[in-house]
A and B are shown apart, each in its own frame.
Chain A
Amino acid sequence: MTNDQIKKLLSTKTVGIAGCGGLGSNCAVALARVGIGKLVISDFDSVSESNLNRQYFFRDQIGQKKTVALQETIQRIRPETRVVLHAVKLDPSNIPAIFGSCDVLVEAFDLADQKEMLIETMLKVFPDKPLVVGLGMAGWGKSDLIHYRKSDNLYICGDEVSEISDELPPLAPRVGMVANMQANVVVEILLTMARG
């Protein structure tokens, strides 16, 4: 495929992003930059000062809904990407309707129980839809531990061991690595699908 064909194809695709924190905000920006046609983003939270150590927000966005702030940033980068916002708390009852039309879904939650809920719901409702999850990215260094593996339609990015704690905070470099790895996997899935 030529670069023009790649851009044309990605512009027809819809990607869902569940959570607009460290993983979701960075992943969404990367996907907008490569020219994804539509992003369905969801988060109930607002931007706070402590988010700025890793999340793709700006100081003057503190207090704004994360979905609104992220949409604003994406529009400044690439206005052609359509952004659909859902400023709600995701649960098994609303996930199917919100993300049903997406070609691929990115799991970008913070808490383990939320990740579990999303993965279980998607495996039950849309077992054939690719789901790209981020697992294990706290701390710094250990770049060689970050990996990618695939289990049917579940694509796992991260080191799968580093849980956040007071001694192991989530920081921009490693969170950004995993977020961009998720975006990279999304692009690979979409381009591989196209080839059939």
Chain B
Amino acid sequence: MQITLNNRLEELEGDRLTVSELLKVRNFTFKMLIIKINGKVIEKSDYDSAEIKEGDDVQVIHLISGG
């Protein structure tokens, strides 16, 4: 399936992925993240159930210390 990940078109295996699976596949290892699917913030407790489908707009924001 094709999704938009952080404003870039990306091709992923399969036609559905949970947020947890996406994080694993893409090696997102940061502990503190904010994830939005089509503009909606996904609660951490829903990472195992929230699904990403063809055409979704996914934003993964790493929270990094410094300022």
Does B65 have its Cβ within 8 Å of any Cβ on chain A? yes
Residues of A within 8 A of B64 (CB): 112, 115, 135-136, 158, 160-163
Contact A113 B32 (CB under 8 A): yes
Interface residue count on the A side (C-beta < 8 Å): 35
Contact B7 A175 (CB under 8 A): no
Contact A137 B67 (CB under 8 A): yes
Within 8 A of B (CB), among A116-140: 116, 119-120, 123-124, 134-138
Residues of A within 8 A of B9 (CB): none
Does B25 have its Cβ within 8 Å of any Cβ on chain A? no
Contact A116 B36 (CB under 8 A): no
Q: A112-B32, A135-B62, A154-B59 are in contact. List 14 more A-B contacts (CB 8 A).
A: A22-B66, A110-B67, A111-B65, A112-B64, A113-B63, A115-B63, A116-B63, A119-B34, A119-B61, A136-B62, A136-B64, A151-B36, A163-B64, A164-B65
Residues of B within 8 A of A119 (CB): 34, 61, 63
Does A70 have its Cβ within 8 Å of any Cβ on chain B? no
Residues of B within 8 A of A (CB): 6-7, 32, 34, 36, 39, 41, 59, 61-67
Contact A164 B32 (CB under 8 A): no
Does A56 have its Cβ within 8 Å of any Cβ on chain B? no
Nearest-CB distance from B58 to chain A (Å)? 10
Contact B34 A116 (CB under 8 A): yes
Which chain B residue has the least Cβ–Cβ distance from A118? Answer: B63
A21-B67, A170-B66 known; A135+B36 contact, CB < 8 A: no
Does A19 have its Cβ within 8 Å of any Cβ on chain B? yes
- Which 7 A-B pairs give the minimum distances between C-beta atoms? A112-B63, A164-B66, A23-B67, A151-B59, A110-B67, A112-B65, A163-B64
Does A109 have its Cβ within 8 Å of any Cβ on chain B? yes
Complex CA gap A118/B23 in Å reads 23
Does A28 have its Cβ within 8 Å of any Cβ on chain B? no
Nearest-CB distance from A161 to chain B (Å)? 7
Residues of A within 8 A of B65 (CB): 110-112, 115, 163-164
Residues of B within 8 A of A152 (CB): 36, 39
Nearest-CB distance from A174 to chain B (Å)? 9
Complex CA gap A27/B65 in Å reads 17
Q: Out of B6, B61, B67, which one reaches A109, CB within 8 Å? A: B67
